[in-house]
Amino acid sequence: MPITPQPPGSISPPNTLTPETEGTVSIPNTLTPEAAGAVAIPNTLTPEAEGSISVPNTLIPEAVSAISVPNTLNAEAVGSPAVPNTLTASDAATLPRTLCPTVSMNFADGLYSQNGGAVTEASLLTYARGSSATFIDRQLGATGRWEYFLNTEATGNVKRTSYDAATGESLGVLIEQASTNLALRSEEFDNAAWAKSVSSVTANAATAPDLTATADKFEAGSTATIGPELSQVVTTIAASTYTFSVFVKRAEASFIQITWSGGQVANNPRVNFDLSLGVVGSQDIDVEHASIEPVGADWFRISATVTAVGVALTNFLHMAQSATDARASTNPWTAGEGLYVWGAQVEQAAVVTSYIPTAGATVSRLADQLSIPVVGNVPAGDVTYHGDVSLKGFSGINRFIYTAADTGAGGLYTFINTTDDLQALNGGTVREVAAVGTYGDLFSFTTVFDNSANTLTGFLDGAQTITGDAGAPSFADVAGVVGIGSSNVFSGQINGHIKSLTIYDEALTATEVSLL
């Protein structure tokens, strides 16, 4: 193709460049001259007043310290914030009063205070027992999780704080009456102290609840339709109440039955236990109370309470195959099938208490004694007690949550009475807080003594249950002590746990109690 000469600075089509005025470039790259500091579309910025920016970022000038919508703040009077935080002036008398306990005892967490200041347990509480005792404790296992076990090392005057092995909850301080284990060789079911019927025992076949290798296996003694049993006779007092308990763990068998016979208990009753579900099965009416409690590592402690007819009581463990087996049922078994047993106890008590190991003789545990001084803890005027408590079943005896002796002939306390009602007493006048069966194993109570109005008001789990029944004024004896979990002379132990107990030097209102 021939090339035509062009004037300098020009190029022929298809690449012709048209000369333009100096500083301009032809389309498609033409730039239109703009005023100094401006840029042509598409990047044109419109000049604005000093300090302002064009839409879409325009800020509208506002009064000093104000910001435009959507963040406009309306000027308010000094010390008054705008809605939604406006505070309306209130009469000081309508504001809730500040409540500071005279003394607060959180036994579950080991926290104590007096008049708002932290104090040590040793400076506040006085505790004594004078014998060894056991309780459900916990420790961190190899997997970093809590493991629950029976601690047997609470010797002498060591206060016991127990745990619920099912929930992991700290139950607080354990306060129990004195008791004696009448069963011999409590951990040696292979011993002759235990009679065996179509059964055998393999000693030390598993790890026991106390983490020792002392649990025995209770086994069917032959391959047949039989009713394997273990039993032991203890000496009793006619018409007295006894509780039989034992630690059990399922193996091939998942059900066990406690029975009595020989006319030693009215109508020879039985009660079944399901070790898979951890529940009490069917039971006869003459079994006054039965329980099953997890203690860790698939172990349960089962118990049953009856009234002895004569002076001897044979307590049977019978291997069962359902939670509804009739008394001493026979079932098909294969020799060697069974379950694990450990720690048997028979005690003259209406409730099961903590385990007491025995060998060749009976062994006793002394009562727990826990108290605080009246001075510095119990006010001389109006007073409110509030606490959280768990019980080990019904007992038919007076059991005290707290007791402060007064300056007269009565007392100042809250207790579970002989018919298992929750009651309070002020200067000899008893008031029922809740009837039997209306509270569970763990409950919260509040008793308000308004001495200026001569009233005593009770609450259960925050709900008012008695309404200002009149009672004579009563004041704690400043020379005495407040018994915690017992009377002030350390009788009538609660046979249960006290999770917390708090004392206020006010007669709290129903609204204030509901917020505790």
186 and 167 belong to one structural domain: no
**pLDDT at residue number 63:** 46
303, 245 Cβ separation under 8 angstroms: yes
Whether residue 47 lies inside any domain: the answer is no
Cis peptide before 13 (omega within 30 of 0): no
269 and 295 belong to one structural domain: yes
228 and 348 belong to one structural domain: yes
- DSSP per residue, 74-106: ----TT-PPTTSPPPP--GGGSPPP---SEEEE
Whether residue 164 lies inside any domain: the answer is yes
Phi, psi of 12 (to 5 degrees): -75, 160
The predicted model scores a pTM of 0.80
How distant, in Å, are the alpha carbons of 88, 276, 324, 386, 425 from that of 252?
71, 11, 18, 47, 52
d(CA 334, CA 226): 10
373 and 357 belong to one structural domain: no
d(CA 290, CA 430): 30
**pLDDT at residue number 20:** 45
Looking at this protein, which amino acid is placed at residue 223?
T
372 and 361 belong to one structural domain: no
d(CA 172, CA 156): 19
Whether residue 325 lies inside any domain: the answer is yes
Beta-bridge partner residues of 105: 112, 501
410 and 345 belong to one structural domain: no
Whether residue 68 lies inside any domain: the answer is no
Whether residue 51 lies inside any domain: the answer is no
205 and 284 belong to one structural domain: yes
**Cβ neighbours around 267 below 10 Å, total:** 13
**Cβ neighbours around 347 below 10 Å, total:** 26
Structural domain boundaries, residue 200: 180-365
**pLDDT at residue number 295:** 97
d(CA 487, CA 21): 113
How distant, in Å, are the alpha carbons of 347, 362, 419, 425 from that of 240?
11, 18, 17, 29
d(CA 365, CA 367): 7
Domain boundary among 365, 387, 418: 365
Whether residue 84 lies inside any domain: the answer is no
217, 199 Cβ separation under 8 angstroms: no
Domain count, the chain: 2
Cα torsion angle, 436, 438, 443, 448, sign: negative
430 and 324 belong to one structural domain: no
Domain boundary among 332, 365, 398: 365
291 and 399 belong to one structural domain: no
Task: Report the CATH number at residue 249.
Answer: 2.60.120.260
- CA-based end-to-end distance of the chain: 104
Whether residue 289 lies inside any domain: the answer is yes
348 and 393 belong to one structural domain: no
d(CA 39, CA 47): 11
**pLDDT at residue number 471:** 64
Q: Which residues contact 331 (CB under 8 A, 6 or more apart)?
A: 225, 226, 227, 319, 320, 321, 325
Task: Report the CATH number at residue 474.
Answer: 2.60.120.200
**pLDDT at residue number 265:** 96
314 and 383 belong to one structural domain: no
Whether residue 70 lies inside any domain: the answer is no
Give the residue ranges of the chain where pLDDT is below 50.
1-4, 6-41, 44-55, 58-60, 62-69, 72-73, 75-78, 81-82, 87
**pLDDT at residue number 427:** 67
482 and 379 belong to one structural domain: yes
Domain boundary among 323, 349, 365: 365
Phi, psi of 458 (to 5 degrees): -115, 150
**pLDDT at residue number 88:** 55
